[in-house]
């Protein structure tokens, strides 16, 4: 049983207070797959790229156990392109440019060999495309997790609300949760969003960690205090990859296991931000991942004797 991932595979141009990159490899599905493949393989990827997407990147993903039968290559077109700029407070970023290119008329077809996937990660993408992938699954997956962003709230809110009715977990950041619910308090925002379809909501708060909401229950995961943060791009997707990688490896969709999954997601995201783009994710070892998860355990562990 494996994990199906759908999302963008892209070129990004990023500017942070610490440097600037030219067109480098990015995309939600790229980060998700790189992160999740540390926990489960195969990953069955659905995406679309242009002829400009390097074969070496596809080969690298394949070497990590990512199946690419569902990745369409449009040789005569350009890959999705996104450009963003971070400020000193790196929880805030401006999108400078979004060029849909191949994504503009992407009609994904779920290959027959992907139908056995019990876990589905709908990475950040056109909501109607996320929905179309879900509709093509002949058996309802055990868990469907979805990510989205402000861009789609502004350009495709009705479609986004429709797909939300069919997912189990929504993963978004705090400003997106506020935008989606029109509530400032994250507790009120969670209540409103949990009425839109998902049974679980994960609110990512960048360097302030993440919150997991389910019914009246809340769990908080910290972010690791890091000395250097170079580039937060892809941190949310890397988080999603760690979260879904852990859940699909353990096949346990309980609230308790989701708590562990958001710690695993936070640990993976903490690697992502240490270097530009996907660089750090490509070099980390299983041992480093385990060490970092252990650091999280120590970070939140304390004793108290109540009087």
Residue ranges in contact with ligand AMP by CB under 6 A:
8, 10, 12, 26-28, 82, 98, 124-125, 149, 151, 233-237
Core vs surface per residue 229-268: b (16+ CB within 10 A) or e: bbbbbbbbbbbbbbbbbbbbbeeebeeeebebbbbbbbbb
Structural tokens at position 271: 């690697």
Residue nearest to ligand AMP (CB): 26
In DSSP notation, 222-249 reads PPP--S-----TTHHHHHHHHHHHHHHH
- Minimum CB distance to ligand AMP smaller for 155 or for 217: 155
Spell out the alpha helix ranges (H) of the chain: 28-36, 55-63, 127-136, 150-155, 157-164, 174-181, 186-194, 235-250, 255-272, 279-283, 286-299
Residue number with CB closer to ligand AMP (14 or 110) = 14
Residue 121's nearest CA partner among 265, 267, 272, 12 is: 265
Instruction: For the CB of residue 116, give the shortest distance to ligand AMP in the complex, in Å.
Output: 26
Cβ proximity to ligand AMP, 228 vs 303, nearer residue: 228
Q: Shortest distance, CB of residue 2 to ligand AMP, whole angstroms?
A: 22
Least gap, CB of 254 to ligand AMP (angstroms): 26
Min dist. Cβ of residue 220 to ligand AMP (A): 20
Q: How far is the CB of 264 from ligand AMP (least distance, A)?
A: 16
Shorter beta-carbon distance to ligand AMP: residue 45 or 233: 233
22 vs 216 by CB, closer to ligand AMP: 22
In this structure, are residues 157 and 189 in contact, taking their beta carbons and an 8 Å threshold?
no
Closest to ligand AMP by CB, 283 vs 291, is 283
Q: Does residue 19 come out as left (phi exceeding 0), alpha (psi in the -120 to 50 range) or beta? A: left
Whichever of 2 and 79 has its CB closer to ligand AMP, that residue is 79
Q: In sequence order, which residues have a C-beta less than 8 Å from that of residue 305 and are 6 or more positions away? A: none
Place of tokens 């156990």: 65
The least distance separating ligand AMP from the CB of residue 302, rounded to whole angstroms, comes to 30
In angstroms, give the least distance from the CB of 233 to ligand AMP.
5
CA distances from 241 to 66, 152, 206, 279, 306 (A): 13, 20, 15, 16, 38
Note the Cα 219 to chain centre separation in Å. Answer: 19
């Amino acid at each position: 049983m494996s994990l199906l991932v759908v999302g963008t595979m892209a070129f990004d141009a990023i500017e942070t207070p610490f440097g600037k990159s030219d067109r480098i490899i990015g995309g939600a599905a790229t980060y998700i797959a790189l992160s999740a493949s540390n926990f489960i393989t195969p990953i069955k990827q659905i995406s679309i790229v242009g002829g400009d997407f390097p074969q070496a990147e596809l080969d690298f993903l394949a070497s990590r156990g990512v199946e690419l039968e569902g990745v369409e290559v449009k040789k005569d077109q350009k890959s999705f392109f996104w450009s963003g700029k971070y400020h000193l407070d790196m929880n805030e970023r401006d999108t400078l440019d979004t060029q849909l290119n191949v994504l503009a008329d992407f009609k994904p077809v779920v290959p027959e060999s992907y139908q056995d996937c019990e876990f589905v990660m709908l990475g950040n993408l056109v909501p109607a495309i996320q929905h179309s992938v879900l509709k093509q699954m002949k058996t309802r997956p055990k868990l469907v997790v979805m990510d989205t962003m402000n861009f789609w709230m502004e350009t495709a809110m009705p479609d986004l609300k429709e797909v939300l009715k069919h997912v189990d977990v929504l993963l978004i950041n705090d400003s997106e949760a506020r935008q989606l619910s029109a509530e400032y308090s994250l507790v009120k925002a969670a209540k409103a969003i949990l009425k839109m379809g998902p049974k679980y909501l994960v609110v990512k708060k960048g360097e302030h960690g993440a919150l997991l909401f389910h019914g009246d229950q809340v769990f908080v995961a910290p972010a690791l205090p890091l000395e250097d943060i170079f580039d937060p791009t892809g941190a949310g997707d890397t988080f999603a990859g760690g979260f879904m990688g852990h859940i699909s490896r353990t096949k346990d969709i309980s609230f308790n296991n989701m708590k562990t999954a958001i710690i695993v997601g936070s640990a993976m995201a903490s690697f992502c931000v240490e270097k530009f783009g996907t660089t750090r994710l490509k070099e980390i070892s299983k041992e480093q991942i385990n060490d970092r998860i252990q650091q999280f355990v120590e970070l939140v562990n304390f004793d108290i004797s109540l009087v």
